[in-house]
Structure 1
Amino acid sequence: MTSPIDFGIPDLTGRTVLITGANGGLGRVTARVLAGRGAHVILAVRNRAKGEAAAKTMPGSTEVRDLDLADLSSVHDFAADFTDPFDLLINNAGIMIPPLYRTADGFESQFGTNHLGHFALTNLLLPQVRERIVTVASIAHRFGTIEFDDLQWTGRSYRPMAAYGQSKLANLLFTAELQRRLEESSSPVTAVAAHPGYAATNLFGSDDEHRLSDRINRTFTRVFAQREQDGARPILCAAVADLPGGSYIGPTGPFETRGKPGFASRSTKSTDTEVARRLWAVSEELTGVTFPEL
């Protein structure tokens, strides 16, 4: 079992942090903690009303900005309006196991939101990032495979969990290739990833009280999942601890579902450098966004 990382949240006065999906769940907890330590926290959210409501519950300095990762035009608009340098980007927003639907650009929703939206956002903002990029992955990456012949699930029966696993595997491959490119560019910025284990967040289940699968899921979550506050700890560790680029942080308890943060295990598929490079090239083609000159 991996030893936990002993870390504390330092005084972040003067630092600016951008967190996607910060209006709820792990993102809201992360934003609240970092704002409480003096950071200016920007909540990049799809629902402004929920973002503003969340910001009102946080101490310190916050602001809310509109961002829909399922729409590349929104990503471009956000980046065009965001011209100031900042210290930390936390790619937290995500969706999990919805029925099949497509983003505004025609991508399968989970791959389009969890990976391609963050891929485009990160590359567009990268020249302004001063310190670190954290991307939130999942233990579900182990269930994923990058199906280059059908990334968008147009030629096979849709399986929501397999699609989610693909998007989370893409998060880890993206982090690895991003770190390689940052090192090649002699950039001081580092890229790391984190996963929350099994945390009781708003990602689990739907609002359908009558579907048996949702009732079972909610019951299982109440019994076995750790709290949002604990699920956010690996993300906070990845954001502020002294870590080498490319690190992957997660809980150190049983099956990495809960416990103190430490270095997480990952599947062999997530360390395949050739797949990571190919995914990067495909992502550039799909989004029209490329790695910037640094």
Structure 2
Amino acid sequence: MFDDSGWTADDMDSQAGRNVVVTGANSGIGLEATRALAAHGAHVVMACRSVERGRDAKREIEAEYPGASLTVRELDLADLDSVAAFADWYETTYDSLDVLANNAGVMAIPRSETADGFETQFGVNHLGHFALTGRLLDVLRQTSGRTRVVTQSSMAHESGEIDFDDLQHESEYDKWAAYGQSKLANVLFAYELDRRLRAADASVTSVACHPGFAATNLQLRGPQQSGSRLRLLAMKAVNAVLAQSAEAGAWPLLYAATHPSVDGGEYVGPGGLLNARGHPEEQASSERSRDEATARRLWSVSEELTGVALDLPAPDRS
């Protein structure tokens, strides 16, 4: 269990000499995590779907921290070719990776499909990050010290179910059910990855986290894409009244990525009101997220769908 009940990003140890990849680094929690990591000396690769917005975010951070070490690189998690290109570029550019922060995501959007034909929320939130992790696993494992994969989930995972008969929600689509499935997949993946890394006696650990209820653009994309001005205004009002800042929402990710007490296999989230805000703590995820049989099946299906096989032994289940 963690012992820092009032921890914030200001309490982070020096990250000098460490390489970190943050997906979705140009806005929201990804931007705030990148800002804090750079302020503490890390070199952050800002993996962004829009290079232009990534460069704008990079300039914003550099204006605040002139010595910030940042690189912007295109990564579209909705396109497995883009995932492969990013990973190939990273491995030819860097010889180490200390933290992979699987942070980017989409939430409650109208049904659409990725370049590879996956339902977008499942494809971006889970399958894209599954493939990215698999393609960067070698550089993670060859990095000295304890390296980490941190996968961002959501409180919405608690209502999620993995529908193996209709993973892509083709027969019936509910945007919130699809989102919950993708966020449950994030936790199942994080836990199964940690079990397999332990079975391989690897120096890499895997952690899941969630931001609580943080005011970011994530909540606005669904209403924007569906053309609902009323829902958009309502969500903006809710964010203004109830949500914590994106800066505070980044604390669980930063804690999971950097704190020495994190051992792998944890679920980190805000410890305040309804786990929606506050300082990071270890929490209990849903019963479904701890179902190892579901995790094994999801792992196999994800390898089949993405064509990316993670070279890790299955843990001893006895």
TM-score, structure 2 as length reference? 0.89
**What root-mean-square deviation, in Å, do the aligned CA atoms of Structure 1 and Structure 2 show?**
1.5
Deviations 1:186-225 (A, max 9, x none): 0011000110000000101233775322222221121100
Show the counterpart of 2:180: 165
- Point out 4+ residue stretches in structure 1 off by more than 6 angstroms: none
Say which SS state the counterpart of residue 281 (structure 2) adopts: strand
Counting aligned pairs with the same residue, the percent is: 48
The answer to whether structure 1 residue 195 and structure 2 residue 197 are counterparts is no
Answer yes or no: is the 8 Å Cα contact 1:4–1:252 preserved in 2. Answer: no
Counterparts of 1:4 and 1:255 in 2: how far apart (Å)? 19
Answer yes or no: is the 8 Å Cα contact 1:3–1:252 preserved in 2. Answer: no
Show the counterpart of 2:47: 44
Say which SS state the counterpart of residue 14 (structure 2) adopts: coil
The answer to whether structure 1 residue 141 and structure 2 residue 144 are counterparts is no
Say which SS state the counterpart of residue 77 (structure 2) adopts: coil
**Runs of 5+ consecutive residues of structure 1 not aligned to the other structure:** none
Q: 1:106 and 1:276, CA in 2 relative to 1: closer, same or farther beyond 3 A?
A: same
Counterparts of 2:159 and 2:190 in 1: how far apart (Å)? 18
Q: 1:107 and 1:229, CA in 2 relative to 1: closer, same or farther beyond 3 A?
A: same
- How far residue 293 of structure 1 moved from its aligned partner, in angstroms, is 5.8
Answer yes or no: is the 8 Å Cα contact 1:18–1:42 preserved in 2. Answer: yes
Q: Which amino acid in the other structure matches residue 132 of structure 1? A: R
Deviations 1:168-203 (A, max 9, x none): 000000001100110011001100011000000010
Deviations 1:134-186 (A, max 9, x none): 00000000111000000001112x11111000000000000011001100110
Answer yes or no: is the 8 Å Cα contact 2:152–2:208 preserved in 1. Answer: yes
Q: 1:245 and 1:5, CA in 2 relative to 1: closer, same or farther beyond 3 A?
A: farther
Say which SS state the counterpart of residue 166 (structure 1) adopts: helix
The answer to whether structure 1 residue 292 and structure 2 residue 311 are counterparts is yes
Counterparts of 1:293 and 1:180 in 2: how far apart (Å)? 10
Deviations 1:260-285 (A, max 9, x none): 11012211000000000000000000
Q: How does 1:129-278 map to 2 (within 5 A)?
A: 129=140, 130=143, 131-156=147-172, 158-206=173-221, 207=224, 210-241=228-259, 242-278=261-297
Match of 1:24 among 17, 27, 33: 27
Q: Which amino acid in the other structure matches residue 36 of structure 1? A: A
Counterparts of 2:3 and 2:18 in 1: how far apart (Å)? 29
Counterparts of 1:229 and 1:109 in 2: how far apart (Å)? 26
Q: Which amino acid in the other structure matches residue 262 of structure 2? A: L
Answer yes or no: is the 8 Å Cα contact 2:197–2:312 preserved in 1. Answer: no
Q: Which amino acid in the other structure matches residue 233 of structure 1? A: W
Counterparts of 1:217 and 1:77 in 2: how far apart (Å)? 36
Q: How does 1:23-172 map to 2 (within 5 A)?
A: 23-58=26-61, 59=65, 60-83=68-91, 84=94, 85-129=96-140, 130=143, 131-156=147-172, 158-172=173-187
Counterparts of 1:77 and 1:64 in 2: how far apart (Å)? 14
Counterparts of 1:220 and 1:269 in 2: how far apart (Å)? 29
Q: Which moved more, 1:207-216 or 1:42-51?
A: 207-216
Answer yes or no: is the 8 Å Cα contact 2:196–2:312 preserved in 1. Answer: no
Q: Which amino acid in the other structure matches residue 297 of structure 2? A: R
Deviations 1:72-92 (A, max 9, x none): 010011111111221110000
Counterparts of 1:79 and 1:210 in 2: how far apart (Å)? 37
Counterparts of 1:211 and 1:31 in 2: how far apart (Å)? 31
